[in-house]
Structure 1
Amino acid sequence: MPELNAQALHFLQTRRSRPAKTLGQPVPDRLALEPLLTAAARTPDHGKLEPWRFIVVEKPAMARLADVAEARGVALGLDAEQIAKGRNQFDTGNLAVVVVEVQKPSAKIPALEQTYSAGAVCLALLNAALAAGWGANWLSGWASHDRGFMEEGLGLAPHECIAGLIHIGTETAAPPERPRPDIQGITTWLSD
């Protein structure tokens, strides 16, 4: 029987993202953020391609990204509510880590597996931040799927895209628990 890490298992079974709008100051400084990024980078990575990288967006850069999101929303012809929503996560954000998916040519590792790895980095970073006592939330939104925002706002290359924006800060309000999946209803056991 393997040795149980009850504390880690309990954390994973009870973890809860914190709404980004409830994350305040202080935020982790560079020294506090490095172990979280290190933990996230230990994610499964078939072929050791490292098909991801990080962009840390600090508070001063948030205002610029809010302006880029608004300008892109106008250029795309989005309605005022969509534009405001795209802008808001940067207007109210204090710190976010953009997990950038970096597709790398490989004869052995399909592009989809690289996407899975980048998504796993997002969850690993989210969990690392929560385990370290910070509040954290994984967001996306229309701006994170807009090529113009990716290039103008973050300088991403054509083979890169945003896997997620992980907002990290101090929790100011605990969210209520929400319904969780019925494990029996979503699990199939194959015995032969």
Structure 2
Amino acid sequence: MDALEALHNRVSVGKLTDPAPSEAQRENIFRAALRTADHGALRPWRFLQVEGEELHKLGQLFLRAAEAENNGPLGDAKRDKTLAMPLRAPLILVAITRLQDHPKVPHIEQHLSTAGAVQAMLTAAFAQGIGAYWRTGPLAYNPVVAEGLGLAENEHIDGFIYLGTPAKSPRQARELATSDFFSHWKAP
């Protein structure tokens, strides 16, 4: 698939199954992340790979975080749902921004650089026929999760990228009119 085709047609794929991307496919995905816009060449992003038995351990970590947030045990249905969250894909990448104090690069730009890396990885996955989607939500910002993943004080989770084989053909990207989003500025 050529680059423009991937950029124009990428969609999130929510139903994923085994196998996870191969090592060669992962290398393509990872290399795409490293080409993102990066003011000051700070390389503020890093990514944790979670797969296999570690997915179950991530579910346990999510449960501890949710119970801490809830100030006690969750009901059975919520507990089971929380434990199963990481099992939605054979591979999860945790997108982390390492914030650095810099006179010309505010923290928000460092988060934006990580977001750009994530988008590049989603597109690289799509171009290879790999299903992918990006999730955030309360657990991404939970201090119990951050501590359990070994994040430093200056590190923040910007999302979880779920990767795997699409369980069914990806939907067609909805056509959007560029004119709905782009216009010429006219100076006053």
Q: Is the 8 A contact 2:46 2:95 kept in 1?
A: yes
**Aligned amino acid, residue 14 of structure 1:** N
Q: Secondary structure at the match of 2:93?
A: strand
- In angstroms, what is the RMSD of aligned CA positions? 2.2
Partner Cα separation in structure 1 for residue 82 and residue 174 of structure 2: 27
Matched, 1:184 2:163: no
Q: Give, in angstroms, the shift of residue 13 of structure 1.
A: 1.1
Deviation at 1:155, TM superposition (A): 0.7
Q: Residues 157 and 187 of structure 1: is their aligned pair in 2 closer, same or farther, counting only changes over 3 Å? A: same
Q: TM-score, normalised by structure 1?
A: 0.85
Task: Classify 1:60/1:130 alpha carbon distance in 2 versus 1 (closer, same or farther; 3 Å).
Answer: same
Contact 2:130–2:163, Cα closer than 8 Å, also in 1: yes
State the match for 2:28 in structure 1.
35
Give 2:2's aligned residue. Answer: 7
- Give the Å deviation of 1:55: 0.6
The alignment status of 1:144 with 2:140, answered yes or no, reads yes
Q: Tell me, which stretches of 5 or more residues in structure 1 are unaligned?
A: 1-5
Matched, 1:116 2:112: yes
SS in 2 for 1:169: strand
SS in 1 for 2:183: coil
| 1:40–1:145 CA distance, 2 compared to 1 (3 A) | same
Q: Against the structure 1 CA distance between its residues 175 and 82, is the aligned structure 2 distance closer, same or farther, given a 3 Å change threshold?
A: farther
**Corresponding residue number in structure 1 for 2:50:** 57
User: Paired residue for 1:73?
Assistant: 66
What is the CA–CA distance in structure 1 between the aligned matches of 2:165 and 2:106, rounded to whole Å? 38
Task: Give the share of equivalent positions with the same residue, in percent.
Answer: 30
8 Å CA contact retained: 2:11, 2:171: no
1:106 corresponds to: 102
Say yes or no: does 1:166 pair with 2:166.
no
1:130 corresponds in structure 2 to: 126
Deviations 1:104-158 (Å, cap 9, x if unpaired)? 1211111111111011111011111111221111111211110111111x11111
Whole-angstrom distance in 2 between the partners of 1:191 and 1:105: 36
Using CA pairs under 8 Å that are at least 6 residues apart, name the structure with larger relative contact order, 1 or 2.
2
- Provide the TM-score with structure 2 as the length reference: 0.87
Output the CA distance in 2 between the equivalents of 1:66 and 1:51.
26
Q: Distance in 1 between matches of 2:163 and 2:88?
A: 12
- Secondary structure in 1 aligned to 2:159? strand
Deviation for aligned residue 1:191: 5.0
Deviation of 1:82 after TM superposition, in Å, equals 5.9
- In structure 2, stretches of 5+ residues that fail to align are none
Note the C-alpha offset of 1:186: 2.5
In the alignment, structure 1 residue 46 sits paired with structure 2 residue 39: yes
| Code of the aligned partner of 1:63 | H
Amino acid corresponding to residue 35 of structure 2 in structure 1: R
Using the TM superposition, give the Cα deviation of residue 93 of structure 1 relative to its aligned residue in structure 2, in angstroms.
2.7
Alignment partners' CA distance in 1, 2:109 and 2:146: 22
1:9 and 1:94 map into 2 onto residues whose CA distance is: 28
Change (3 A) 1:82 1:144: farther
Deviation digits for residues 10-56 of structure 1, max 9, x if unmatched?
2211111101xx11111123343122101111100000000111111
Distance 1:10 1:35 in 2: 17
